[in-house]
Amino acid sequence: MFAMYYFSKIIKKLRGSAIKNSQIHRASKVESGSSLVNVIMDKYSFCGYECEIVNCEIGSFCSIANNVTIGGAMHPIQWVSTSPVFYEGRDSVKKKFSTHKRPVDKKTIIEHDVWIGQNALIKQGIRIGIGAVIGMGSVVTKDVEPYSIVAGNPAKEIRKRFDEASIKSLLKSKWWEYTPQQLAFYAPFFTSPDNFLSQLEK
């Protein structure tokens, strides 16, 4: 039983990931089965298995769970038809009656220290603020404020992670820009925003 478990894990890892026109920081990780196109991922971030991320900037310290979809192309709903047989590019259907240019895809911005739960869907062109949490299975169609917890379809704010004063102070601290030495020094205080902010005042 244990041998089969580890064999399955090895097979899962061996699939590799598909990364094109992207910059992944050497301290970050993309798990196997994931596909990233036109993505910038900053330091200490990761995305799990089976993610699809297109045309997106991801900040530092972000945690993206399995089966998350971010960005991606949209069909032109303002045209007579939304079918790809009427616009340029390679698609599942090979036939082309015309090759009109589609509207340019919008870039999606995931700021620093964002946690995105499993099976979340993030629409192209939105911004998810620093420290936000996206509940698993959420469908995010609008911008998310810093340190907000959102969930649902469509995703709505449930609450803020901290009070407004703490959020303001954390944003002002810009701790995600700290050097490794600074992070090592302040890390013991990360379990409490109050303790961390008190140390900064010292």
Give CA–CA dist 95/173, Å, rounded: 54
State the pairing for strand pair 35-41/23-24. Answer: parallel
Q: Which domain holds residue 166?
A: 162-202
pTM: predicted TM-score of the whole model, two decimal places: 0.88
Tokens found for residue 137: 């299975």
Residues 64 and 37 in one domain: yes
Residues 156 and 166 in one domain: no
Give CA–CA dist 117/138, Å, rounded: 8
Residues 125 and 200 in one domain: no
Give CA–CA dist 14/174, Å, rounded: 37
Residue 3 counted as domain residue? no
Residues 20 and 40 in one domain: yes
Residues 45 and 72 in one domain: yes
Residues 100 and 184 in one domain: no
pLDDT, tens only, 38-64: 999 999 999 999 999 999 999 999 999
Give CA–CA dist 70/139, Å, rounded: 10
Tell me the CATH number at 153.
2.160.10.10
Tokens found for residue 31: 């798990």
Residue 9 counted as domain residue? no
Residues 171 and 156 in one domain: no
Specify the number of domains making up the chain: 2
Residue 152 counted as domain residue? yes
Q: At what angle do helices 193-201 and 164-173 cross, to 10 degrees?
A: 50
Residue 8 counted as domain residue? no
**Cα→Cα distances 178→43, 155, 168, 181, Å:** 11, 31, 17, 8
Residues 98 and 196 in one domain: no
Residue 196 counted as domain residue? yes
Give CA–CA dist 140/36, Å, rounded: 19
Residues 108 and 172 in one domain: no
**Residue 117 amino acid letter:** G
Determine which helix (DSSP H) or strand (DSSP E) holds 127, and give its type and residue range.
strand 127-128
Residues 153 and 176 in one domain: no
With tokens 């709505």, the residue in question is: 156
> So which residues are the catalytic ones?
75
pLDDT, tens only, 163-191: 999 999 999 999 999 999 999 999 999 99
Number of Cα atoms under 13 Å in the Cβ half of residue 99: 7
Give CA–CA dist 122/134, Å, rounded: 9
Print pLDDT tens along the chain (202 aa): 656 544 455 555 555 678 999 999 999 999 999 999 999 999 999 999 999 999 999 999 999 999 999 998 888 888 999 898 988 888 888 899 988 998 888 999 999 999 999 999 999 999 999 999 999 999 999 999 999 999 999 999 999 999 999 999 999 999 999 999 999 999 999 999 999 999 998 7
Cβ neighbour number for residue 181 with a 10 Å cutoff: 8
Q: Residue 8: what pLDDT? A: 52
Residues 129 and 46 in one domain: yes
